Amino acid sequence: MMQRQIFLFFRRHKFFFILLVFIPALFLFKKLDMDFAELQYCPICYGNDFCPPILNGSVKLTRFSSWSFIQLFNSKNVFFATYGQKKVVLKKLGHNFEIRNARENICTTVFKKEKGCNVRESLKVLLNEYYGDVVETFPSLGLRSADIFQCPSQRLVKAILENYVNQLTDLDERSITGMLNFIAVSLVNQEPLLLQMFPASKGWPFPEYYGSCGLLSAVSDEGIPLLRFVNKPWHFRAELVLQILHLADRMSNTDGWSLYATDMTIDNLSVDPNGKVKFIDLENIIVVDRYELTNRRPAKWLRLAESVYDECDSNCLSFSTEDLCSHLNADHNFYAVCRSLLSSYAYRGAGPHGLLHGIPKEVEAKWKLKHWLRECQKPSIKRGRLKAKSQLITALEEIHRAP
């Protein structure tokens, strides 16, 4: 009789007992190990230079990133961690299906083999066709779809490859592995390539790149998302906008390069603990080699490439890759800032001036910011956007200096 009662009790409350067993499992802490980094896919992975701190326990998951059940819903594959005293972000650089497609398509995309291949041997064969010269081999790798390689530049290709191989000709086995890491990154997400080419240590407003382990890329945690600041006092927001305009200026022309952000959304910017604005998602950036352009001198290359305002119901940012690649100067980054951050397209519920909403009357009376914001978005005259950005920078600098 007692056994039957116990049986009936469990039967009636079986859902409760299932939850009792299942829920604690959801909150188990995930461990950083070879499986988490998916090292089994190497050499079709991002590299192994950051594996020691990940595998020896120096890097520890924090916040919700360490909970098993959170990872079921973490479609962006972004995890927060600590590395000693540093806060870091671990990225798989894409959705699971994007990474899987890159692995599955590497033989057809790069080595033109339909039914799979030995990637290491296939790369050696391809290199031999070009006498072991990595730079000469590059055009045959099928990697031109990445934004970073849209504009021709042998100087850029050589500089990036040097981060992955010990030598550019007659590659040893270690460099063959590095070359396969480079191919894997190029097929999934160009961000590590850009972070190494344009490092934070040289003043670029990007996260610091620590390295990669398997299918994990490690970068510095650059603080709080910009979206969290949209309701801060106006003068505080104005200082952030001034930084963003300077950021756009630097990216447009520094050290012989122009970097054009084709996805300048509020989600791709953050504010670090020192109040500095950083661009944290570099997947969609077109790189122009200004020296290469000076040598090639395509038709009308000295004319300013002016972005055309496009009216739409969402944050659509129109651009011409051909124009950006063939002109020494372009106003694209300022168009991106003014349209995507300083207009009603900035974020859900944004007002006409986005991050600069609520301009004080005395500020507007003196500086006419609303006029220059409109001109920056949709210029009424030739080169009007450059004039508008200069006026905005001048005004915001004066406002920032004012007591």
Q: Domains (ranges, CATH) in the chain?
A: 32-221 (no CATH), 224-401 (1.10.510)
**What's the pLDDT score for residue 2?**
52
Three-state DSSP class for residue 380: coil
Q: Are 385 and 375 in contact (CB under 8 A)?
A: yes
Tell me the average pLDDT of the chain. 89
Which of 328, 322, 334 lies closest to 379, judged by CA?
A: 334
At 313-361, the pLDDT tens digits run 666 788 999 999 999 999 999 999 999 999 999 998 899 999 999 999 9
Estimate to the nearest angstrom the gap between the alpha carbon of 217 and the chain centroid: 12
Q: Are 259 and 251 in contact (CB under 8 A)?
A: yes
Q: Are 277 and 310 in contact (CB under 8 A)?
A: no
**What's the pLDDT score for residue 12?**
56
At 21-40, the pLDDT tens digits run 444 444 444 678 898 899 99
**What's the pLDDT score for residue 20?**
43
Which DSSP string do the residues of 295-324 spell out, in sequence order?
HH--TTTTS-BPPPP---SS------HHHH
Arithmetic mean of pLDDT, 235-240: 98
Q: What percent of the chain has pLDDT over 90?
A: 79
Q: What are phi and psi of 28, to 5 degrees?
A: -65, 145
Q: Residues 316, 320, 323, CA angle at the centre, nearest 5°?
A: 150
Arithmetic mean of pLDDT, 114-143: 93
Report the predicted TM-score, pTM, of the whole model to 2 decimal places: 0.89
